[in-house]
Amino acid sequence: MMPKSIGYEKAFKFSIRIVRLYQYLCKDKKEYVLSKQILRSGTSIGANIKEALQAQSKRDYLSKMNVALEEASETEYWLDLLQSTDYIDDKMYSSMIEDCRELIKILVSTVKTTRKSL
């Protein structure tokens, strides 16, 4: 049985929100390029955390968590761009960016803690 991970659980819930954002962008805004980018990076955060939880070593764990952090940072960029180009309104942006930045904080902390223990 896999250990529970707050980061993973939050990333999974965030992925659901990202999928719904992707659906909204495609259906309502007819936007297909940026939406694919944020779908890929936003859902990849949780996938990389899930892989890290099954890592073969601490170095492998650190590497996968670093990838998750990179994907979260990229997702933050796409959210900023979608808001700045009026594809998402301020209310939607505020809610999504808050969740994204919370994931970034969790991942930064995890990476720093793991690095110290190597």
pTM of the model: 0.95
Residue labelled with tokens 């505020």? 94
Q: Is the pLDDT of residue 112 over 80?
A: yes
Q: Is the pLDDT of residue 6 over 60?
A: yes
Under a CB-based contact definition with an 8 Å cutoff, are residues 77 and 19 in contact? no
pLDDT digits (tens, 9 = 90+) for 40-58: 999 999 999 999 999 999 9
Q: Does residue 3 or residue 49 have the better pLDDT?
A: 49
Q: Is the pLDDT of residue 2 over 60?
A: no
Distance of alpha carbon 90 from the chain centroid = 19
In Å, what is the CA distance from 19 to each residue of 40, 44, 87, 94, 112? Answer: 9, 11, 15, 17, 29
pLDDT digits (tens, 9 = 90+) for 9-42: 999 999 999 999 999 999 999 999 999 999 999 9
